[in-house]
Structure 1
Amino acid sequence: MRGINSSLKEVQRVTATFDKVADIIAETSEIDRETITPESHTIDDLGIDSLDFLDIVFAIDKEFGIKIPLEKWTQEVNEGKVSTEEYFVLKNLCAKIDELRAAKA
């Protein structure tokens, strides 16, 4: 029973993170909230440009009390160490946000 409860809490936390991030994206980029899904790629699917993404990251940092290492992530993508999907598909971005929050706690 304990495993089920912790799994449920994990799903609820991830869903709450996604909902907040999707709301931030919709507000910052004037994208219809209903079109934003966990599978959405912020650049390829949603068409968010680099300036809007900086605004989104700033708002996420403020909302969650974290500091997204955007410069490091961009460097890793540019050097081919990770694909853009690692950081820019929303479900993956939300997982990274949750990791940063857990590390700060």
Structure 2
Amino acid sequence: MPTCIADTSEIDRETITPESHTIDDLGIDSLDFLDIVFAIDKEFGIKIPLEQWTQEVNEGKVSTEEYFVLKNLCAKIDELKAAKG
């Protein structure tokens, strides 16, 4: 995941940690995040439900940390990969 983020954005790989918040800590904007999501979808053959996640955050159902802290994002990606089979 950190390599994907570094390759897709202007962020130095060494600054990316499992606790990094993609927006607050790494300063990734929405367009860069879309590029990252697309790269993840392509690499793992999954579809990240970004619209659903954004809606849940905006409605206050979950905090941004649920989806946008890297260790949590990786766990969600693992769940999507497992559900895919």
**TM-score normalised to the size of structure 2?**
0.94
Q: Specify which structure has the higher proportion of helix.
A: 1
Separation in 2 of the partners of 1:76 and 1:98? Answer: 19
**RMSD of aligned alpha carbons:** 0.3
- Percent identical across equivalent pairs? 95
2:72 alignment counterpart: 92
Which runs of no fewer than 5 residues in structure 2 stay unpaired?
Answer: none
Partner SS state of residue 47, structure 1:
coil
Q: 1:45: Cα distance to partner?
A: 0.1
Cα deviations across residues 61-103 of structure 1 (Å, max 9, x unaligned)? 0001100000000000000000000000000000000000000
The runs of at least 4 consecutive aligned structure 1 residues that moved more than 6 Å come to none
**TM-score normalised to the size of structure 1?**
0.77
Match 1:58 to one of 26, 38, 42: 38
Aligned length: 81
Cα deviations across residues 25-62 of structure 1 (Å, max 9, x unaligned)? 10111110000000000000000000000000000000
Separation in 2 of the partners of 1:68 and 1:41? Answer: 17
Which runs of no fewer than 5 residues in structure 1 stay unpaired?
Answer: 1-24
Partner SS state of residue 42, structure 1:
coil
